[in-house]
Structure 1
Amino acid sequence: MNSQPYSSTEKYEDTRFLAYRFYTETIEVTGMSALAFFEAGKASFKGQRMFWQNREKTFTLVGVGHAHTLSTVNHHGRFEDIQKDWQSLCKQIVNEERSVQPVLFGGFSFDPLNKQQSEWVRFPQAYFAVPSFQLVIKNDRAYVSIHLITKEEETFNEFEALRKERDKMIHTAQVSELAAYNKPIVSGRQELKKEQYMESIKKVTAIIKAKQAEKVVIARTLKLKYKEALSPASALYQVSKEQPESFLFGLEAEDQFFFGATPERLVKVENRQALSTCLAGSTSRGKTVEQDTELGEELLRDRKNRSEHQYVVAMISKVFAEHCRETLVPKMPALMKTRDIQHLHTPVKGELKAGSTLFDLVRDLHPTPALGGEPKQAALSLIRQYETMNRGYYAAPIGWVDAGGNGEFAVAIRSALLNEKEAYLYAGGGIVEDSTPESEYLETWIKFRPMLRALGGQLRDES
């Protein structure tokens, strides 16, 4: 709980949930495919599904249906609003489960002050949901929970209907053959505002040379077109095979689906122990082990990348020092290698102070210098001014929190927004004094690669 006293407004907000009752019921089930359960929810709950799997593959979450959604229009207090609403809702839980906690899943936009028109028409600035049906797979055991959040006093018939729907989805997920998920066929590709992007790199580099900022991340968009509507389940399947070492996430908002395979944890909290990942500075993988090792060693020695990485380490360490009793930070970065990219990587650990929460860390860590820049506010202002797009949820926090305050958020990079017969892909890079438009442009192609491959696209140099 937040240790700060509620204001009168907060007290009023808190009372909105007093009329609700939050019922839960959990059963353990024999093993099933998480993706099959996700797909089983398509018939009745398309547009209301969510998917999460951590990088270690020790925790998988699938949500189907919306028992309750949380959002806010408060741009300057959105993290606090979602946290308080979730805490208030959790106070209404009637029957607490021991094995599995109810989970709230969703995300925040990168920058609610960005006013550019965009493709993110279904996603509000903050969008979270308690699923009606929740599948959790952990420690090789699978649990399916029903969540019913209602103001009605008589709930027997409604809960019985939910049990029947649950059993139907479990049966479908267990006995139906998985669909043949073939990669979609791209009918067109467009680099949106490419020339403006190249020009923005020049302008931002000049601003950094003039000492008005130290680093600014500038991103761009690639649009793919298809003759048939894209399948969220197929996209998740493809990217899970292509990027097995990454966090996997997916979030539907009506007819749009945001998904990705990100290597970057923003923050995890488990039993008051907090963990974050400093991930900044990157290079490509080598075609041979010798070339791969050489590229990795060059990355560890590279002044630009090490400087970019150190911005992130310093910022995350400072936030942890504010919210944790003790912070542990390795002195030197290591290499994290995914299929397409090598990253500089430094973990940061700490134990939360009394009164600090997962949402406090998410609020203060976002955006890290790896996705925003340094100093933070100056970088955000320059991104609004010079970036040729509205990032929506790209590079923003997406994840989950349970009723006990445990949870995990990732940084939504290596991601794409599916919009029926269109896909929007996003990639960016950190601009510093010695950046050039040509080198930054080439770096974005490396970062587009995971989503391009999963969505049937090809790089310019791939046949």
Structure 2
Amino acid sequence: MKQKSFTSTNLTIEDKTSTYYFYTETIEVSGLSSIAFFEAGESYKGKRFYWQNREKTFTLVGLGHAYVIQNSLQDNRFEDIDSQWKNLCASIVNEEHELQPILFGGFSFDPLNQLESEWDSFPSAYFAVPSFQLVIRDDRVFISIHLITKDPNSQIAFDQLRTQRDDLIHAAQVNELKPYAKPVVSHLTERFKETYLDAVSHVTRLIEAKEAQKVVIARSLALQFIEEVSSPSAMYHVSKEQPESFVFGLELEEQLFFGATPERLVKVENQKALSTCLAGSIKRGQTATEDQQLGNELLQDAKNREEHQYVVDMISQVFEEYCEEVKVPKYPKLMKIRDIQHLYTPVEGTLKKGQGLLQLVQDLHPTPALGGEPRNEAMGIIRMVEQMNRGYYAAPIGWIDANGNGEFAVAIRSALLNKDQAYLYAGGGIVGTSDPTSEYAETLVKFRPMLRTLGGKLNG
């Protein structure tokens, strides 16, 4: 192992009367699987997270909690997380120029939705600095220890963390990764199916009455398994099933919110910002020829192009406010993943001075691809007709480091796992010409990735 320096600094956090000490140490190791490291942290169950970007150039695993930042605010929840994180990082003297401490977590889709649901343990915003942070970047593996404490004499506690770190590395390198079998589903329930079909009909009438231009309506499935499904098993299978997507997992108490989303909300690296406009979809073909025909059909479909343009216009407007040198391609491309193909347009820019990642996240969420257009009117209609709590589904999930670099994805193609149960979510954009039967069929395609991951089937 290549050991780097041990650094500490005094931090003044939100409580001005308290002085916190931030200790961090990073070593570089070799030959270590991210899933094996996640699995080795079973003693930290309920306090783990996992992230891998779509390009597979950056993987992040967190075990344990050095510090948690959360809130249950309806307003200013993004600013609160941003402010607390900046306060925590403000005085860091870190010789680790290659690797910074990372904060990981997510936000709920709609903090105004107060319906009781499977999401009751999740606050409006939930983020954590891990005690043990694994980063795999460009084939290099780094493991960091973080200790944030009020005790100025923490050498013994830090030495204990070093011992635990070495045990985790040894377990991840030496122990054979369990051969996880697919879960066995004993029962599947289509939750709120009739409510969903009625909602689509209702929304089309509201759009025809000019009360909105587009509204995204979602629905849910519930799976019952014959035995409990572990978080490492879920992360192992979703990584194998959807390698071309962002893979994420966030544990809270007994639950794991996880998924494989194709949709980047926004990435910031060295003041360069990138977002993905992803809206409009169609299934994959059985052959390459059929696949190309379906893709061309999607590119020429008026409804899908209309949906997509709402997203492009909105994201471009946000980038114009926060960025300079904004670049937007004139026409969308196709993004093809295992079960579905989407219309895709990247938007790029350079952040203006004083602007940051979480400010972009705040103003981009929800895009018209997940909420609708206009935003406020669409959100009001969703609250009225959807009759379920999306929780963290379709909301921002991701990370930000001490330098302000980071990435957030939109948490679609996702599920909430709770021991021997799981809840899956999918939705689609409704416009004036939408048909409930066709929209229902589209959600079936969007359920497939997580159904396959969890051993379930729907309509064959």
- TM-score interval w.r.t. the shorter chain? over 0.9
Counterpart amino acid of residue 220 in structure 1: R
- Supply the distance in 2 between the matched residues of 1:297 and 1:332 (Cα, whole angstroms): 13
1:353 lines up with 2:352 in the alignment: yes
Instruction: State the secondary structure of the residue aligned to 1:404.
Output: coil
Corresponding position of 1:45:
44
Q: How does 1:437-456 map to 2 (within 5 A)?
A: 437-456=436-455
Corresponding position of 1:120:
119
Work out the percentage of aligned pairs sharing the same amino acid: 64
Q: How does 1:304-453 map to 2 (within 5 A)?
A: 304-453=303-452
Instruction: State the secondary structure of the residue aligned to 1:66.
Output: coil
Q: Specify whether residues 417 and 17 from structure 1 end up closer, same or farther in structure 2 by C-alpha distance, changes over 3 A only.
A: farther
Counterpart amino acid of residue 216 in structure 2: V
How many Å apart are 1:382 and its aligned residue?
Answer: 0.5
How many Å apart are 1:13 and its aligned residue?
Answer: 7.5
Checking the alignment, whether the CA contact within 8 Å between 2:13 and 2:88 is kept in structure 1 is no
* Comparing 87-96 and 68-77, the one that deviates more: 87-96
- Supply the distance in 2 between the matched residues of 1:76 and 1:387 (Cα, whole angstroms): 22
After superposition, the C-alpha distances for 1:360-412 in whole angstroms (9 at most, x for unaligned) are 00000000000000000000010011112100000000000000000000000
- Supply the distance in 1 between the matched residues of 2:275 and 2:386 (Cα, whole angstroms): 27
Counterpart amino acid of residue 20 in structure 1: Y
- Supply the distance in 2 between the matched residues of 1:167 and 1:444 (Cα, whole angstroms): 45
1:185 lines up with 2:184 in the alignment: yes
Checking the alignment, whether the CA contact within 8 Å between 1:21 and 1:92 is kept in structure 2 is no
Checking the alignment, whether the CA contact within 8 Å between 1:17 and 1:92 is kept in structure 2 is no
Corresponding position of 1:266:
265
When the two structures are superposed, what TM-score results if normalisation uses the length of structure 2? 0.96
Checking the alignment, whether the CA contact within 8 Å between 2:73 and 2:111 is kept in structure 1 is no
How many Å apart are 1:31 and its aligned residue?
Answer: 2.4
After superposition, the C-alpha distances for 1:114-168 in whole angstroms (9 at most, x for unaligned) are 1111101221110000000000000110000000000001001100100000000
- Supply the distance in 1 between the matched residues of 2:18 and 2:448 (Cα, whole angstroms): 48
Corresponding position of 1:160:
159
Q: Specify whether residues 151 and 412 from structure 1 end up closer, same or farther in structure 2 by C-alpha distance, changes over 3 A only.
A: same
Counterpart amino acid of residue 74 in structure 1: L
How many Å apart are 1:92 and its aligned residue?
Answer: 4.0
How many Å apart are 1:304 and its aligned residue?
Answer: 0.1
- Supply the distance in 2 between the matched residues of 1:16 and 1:181 (Cα, whole angstroms): 48
Instruction: Extract unaligned runs of 5+ from structure 1.
Output: 1-11
- Supply the distance in 2 between the matched residues of 1:175 and 1:74 (Cα, whole angstroms): 44
After superposition, the C-alpha distances for 1:404-440 in whole angstroms (9 at most, x for unaligned) are 0000000000000001110000000000000111011
Corresponding position of 1:84:
83
* Comparing 422-431 and 189-198, the one that deviates more: 189-198
How many Å apart are 1:280 and its aligned residue?
Answer: 0.1
Corresponding position of 1:22:
22
Corresponding position of 2:276:
277
- Supply the distance in 2 between the matched residues of 1:332 and 1:325 (Cα, whole angstroms): 21
After superposition, the C-alpha distances for 1:29-51 in whole angstroms (9 at most, x for unaligned) are 01210000000001x20100000
Corresponding position of 1:108:
107
When the two structures are superposed, what TM-score results if normalisation uses the length of structure 1? 0.96
Checking the alignment, whether the CA contact within 8 Å between 2:111 and 2:124 is kept in structure 1 is yes
Instruction: State the secondary structure of the residue aligned to 1:20.
Output: strand
Checking the alignment, whether the CA contact within 8 Å between 1:275 and 1:350 is kept in structure 2 is yes
Instruction: State the secondary structure of the residue aligned to 1:330.
Output: coil
Corresponding position of 2:97:
98
Instruction: Extract unaligned runs of 5+ from structure 2.
Output: 1-11
- Supply the distance in 1 between the matched residues of 2:73 and 2:392 (Cα, whole angstroms): 17
Q: RMSD in angstroms over aligned alpha carbons?
A: 1.1
Corresponding position of 1:59:
58
- Supply the distance in 2 between the matched residues of 1:406 and 1:299 (Cα, whole angstroms): 34
How many Å apart are 1:227 and its aligned residue?
Answer: 2.0
Instruction: State the secondary structure of the residue aligned to 2:64.
Output: strand
Counterpart amino acid of residue 36 in structure 1: A
How many Å apart are 1:74 and its aligned residue?
Answer: 2.3
After superposition, the C-alpha distances for 1:78-135 in whole angstroms (9 at most, x for unaligned) are 0000000000001243544222100000000000001111101221110000000000
Checking the alignment, whether the CA contact within 8 Å between 1:22 and 1:90 is kept in structure 2 is no
- Supply the distance in 1 between the matched residues of 2:117 and 2:92 (Cα, whole angstroms): 38
Checking the alignment, whether the CA contact within 8 Å between 1:24 and 1:96 is kept in structure 2 is no
Checking the alignment, whether the CA contact within 8 Å between 2:255 and 2:419 is kept in structure 1 is yes
- Supply the distance in 2 between the matched residues of 1:173 and 1:204 (Cα, whole angstroms): 50
Counterpart amino acid of residue 40 in structure 2: A
How many Å apart are 1:17 and its aligned residue?
Answer: 8.2
Instruction: State the secondary structure of the residue aligned to 2:265.
Output: strand
Counterpart amino acid of residue 40 in structure 1: A
Instruction: State the secondary structure of the residue aligned to 2:103.
Output: strand
Checking the alignment, whether the CA contact within 8 Å between 1:18 and 1:92 is kept in structure 2 is no
Instruction: State the secondary structure of the residue aligned to 1:378.
Output: helix
Corresponding position of 1:32:
32
Corresponding position of 1:3:
none
- Supply the distance in 2 between the matched residues of 1:414 and 1:73 (Cα, whole angstroms): 25
Q: Specify whether residues 318 and 18 from structure 1 end up closer, same or farther in structure 2 by C-alpha distance, changes over 3 A only.
A: farther
